[in-house]
Amino acid sequence: MRDAAFLRELRRVAEGSTLVASVCTGSLLLAASGLLDGVPATTNKRVFATIRAAFPKADWRPRARWVESGKFVTASGISAGTDMALALIAKLYGRDRALEIAKRAEYRWSEDPSDDPFAAE
């Protein structure tokens, strides 16, 4: 997160992309590059307060498994990232396709991004 050249390249690639997704603390890199300034986002709950304090320009959402805001989609943790990935598949290819993939993976998909049992009160 302190590698200026990497952050510039991340920003360049993200600005040219139609969809940018991060899982867990990957949102830290997006925030460090300035891409999440003013953008609703989430991150892993174990480091949430630290990341929010370090990057206060992002609109951090403490109660969310994932947050979709325009082309940016951030997930709070690893299993939330799987839920987010399935939501993106549903958005791009239809809910039936996402359900089929979840079933093949023997994964119980949580389709509600606000259903976050790990959020601190």
**Catalytic residue numbers?**
24
Strand order in the sheet with 72-75: 20-23, 72-75, 66-69
**For the purposes of burial, counting CB atoms within 10 Å of the CB of 114, is it exposed (0-12), middle (13-18) or buried (19 or more)?**
exposed
| Rounded-to-integer distance, Cα 6 and Cα 77, Å | 23
Token pair for residue 48? 């949430």
